[in-house]
Amino acid sequence: MMLTPLVYWAQRHEEIYLRVELTDAQVKTQSLTFFFLCVINCSARGHGAKGQNEYEFSLEFLFPVKPEVSYKSTQRQVNVVVGKEKRGWWERLVTQERKPVFLAPDFDRWLEESDAEMEIREKEERRNRLRSARLKEPGFISLKTGFLFAYNLVQFLGFSWIFVNMTVRLFIFGKDSLYDTFHTISDVMFFCQTLAAVEVLNAAFGVVRTGVVPTFIQVIGRNFILFIIFGSLDEMHNRPVVFFVFYLWSAIEIFRYPFYMLGCFNTEWKTLTWLRYTVWIPLYPLGVLAEAVAVLQAIPIFDKNKLFSIPLPKAIGGSLSFSYVLQGYLILMFLGLFINFRHLHKQRKRRFRTKKRKAN
Ligand SMILES: CCCCCCCCCCCCC[C@@H](O)CC(=O)SCCNC(=O)CCNC(=O)[C@H](O)C(C)(C)COP(=O)(O)OP(=O)(O)OC[C@H]1O[C@@H](n2cnc3c(N)ncnc32)[C@H](O)[C@@H]1OP(=O)(O)O
């Protein structure tokens, strides 16, 4: 007659643990019967209650289980882990209500359902903590950080090239350099300002912690001047106003982008932070003023060449000059200036207040 070992059991939501009381056991067969995968048969040779012998047991589980079974034979016992086919808590292990005599709860591993849920939550929390600790590790660069760093680096290089080029040309050619800024600089400026659309997407998708409206106003405002006023009117290309607009735009960016690059690695250089949050105070109104001058200079040109003019119904005849749009835009510019000036002032206060609090 085949002998049966003592089997202890416990469960979690996703698996069943069986502990078979056999020392130095050699598991011979261990299989699951493929009828709904409910029955496990296990036979082994080892030292049990009846000394060194062949032992065997069979269990018909209450619900289906997964076909893969893992078992580990140690000097003291055989540990078997069986996965539940469907996650859940079983009221008992086997189909028959009266449990087999060789089966008993494994109190070393026993957990009630609520405790098992708590164990899952704790595991999840531990995993989350580990994940965020990993993200903070000095050597760990996330995809987002890499992307932001690369973006800021490209913009920094672009605007530095613009700023340095314009400064050097100003020193070499003096006043003459004011008249050919568009021809020497515009390609790089077109590239940088087109790329700046990424900043609106970054704000909209929460890649960086900033408002969409100020970023949108900034990018649209500049691109309107660059593409519509300068880009579409040849008559504007040789005007000194291009120099002032480009110089004021790039003067802030050579501080703003390196500031973000350091921020990507949670580092800062105090002087750079101060420059990023201070230089805009004179530059922003001056920039808007230069842009407004460009718009005012463009109005008579649009009136004359009828570019972008809106045709009126035949009964009235003629067309509506684009200069009316520009007059409306002049008002929007000062509204935009007000919104962004207030935003930058808030960012400045937030930055320096936090720093002061940290220092105390
Ligand atoms: C109502 C619709 C009207 C539409 C019509 C438009 C009318 C247009 C008129 C507009 C006039 C525009 C005039 C303008 O062109 C003139 C000039 O530019 S003159 C030159 C001076 N200009 C400036 O100083 C402005 C420069 N630009 C900016 O500062 C930004 O573009 C702005 C959106 C205005 C503000 O930036 P932001 O809100 O992002 O503030 P912070 O720099 O403090 O950043 C906040 C946090 O986000 C992190 N961040 C942001 N960007 C990045 C990035 N690229 N990479 C990594 N991290 C980034 C930053 O680190 C902060 O994080 P934390 O707080 O954790 O430090």
Q: ipTM score here?
A: 0.96
Cβ atoms of 303 and 321 closer than 8 Å: yes
Whole-number Å distance, alpha carbon 137 to ligand 1 midpoint, is 29
| 92-142 residue pLDDT tens | 999 888 889 999 999 989 988 888 888 888 889 999 888 877 766 666 568
Q: Which two tokens stand for residue 271?
A: 């002087």
Whole-number Å distance, alpha carbon 107 to ligand 1 midpoint, is 62
| 240-263 residue pLDDT tens | 999 999 999 999 999 999 999 999
Q: Is 119 a catalytic residue?
A: no
Q: Is 219's pLDDT higher than 60?
A: yes
Structural domain boundaries in the chain: 7-109, 113-138, 141-359
Whole-number Å distance, alpha carbon 217 to ligand 1 midpoint, is 9
- Binned at pLDDT 50, 70 and 90, residue 37 comes out as low
Catalytic-role residue among 17, 71, 284, 324: 284
Q: Is 223's pLDDT higher than 80?
A: yes
Cβ atoms of 29 and 58 closer than 8 Å: no
Catalytic-role residue among 21, 291, 324, 329: 291
Whole-number Å distance, alpha carbon 37 to ligand 1 midpoint, is 62
pTM score over 0.95: no
* Maximum C-alpha span of the chain: 112
Q: To 10 degrees, what angle do helices 197-204 and 181-195 make?
A: 20
Atom of ligand 1 nearest to the CA of 287: 19
Atom of ligand 1 nearest to the CA of 214: 33
Whole-number Å distance, alpha carbon 213 to ligand 1 midpoint, is 10
Q: Is 247 a catalytic residue?
A: no
Domain 7-109 has CATH 3.40.50.720: no
Atom of ligand 1 nearest to the CA of 222: 15
Torsion over CA: 296, 297, 303, 305 (sign): negative
In this prediction, residues 202-211 reach a mean pLDDT of 92
Which of 154, 199, 208, 256 for mutating ligand 1's site (highest number of atoms within 8 Å of CB)?
Answer: 208
- Cα(129)–Cα(157) distance, rounded to whole angstroms? 37
Which residues form the pocket of ligand 1, taking CB atoms under 6 Å from any ligand atom? 148, 152, 199, 208-211, 214-215, 217-218, 220-222, 248-249, 252, 256, 260, 263-264, 280, 283-284, 287-288, 291, 332-333, 336-337, 340, 344, 347
- E-strand ranges in 62-150 read 65-73, 78-84, 103-105
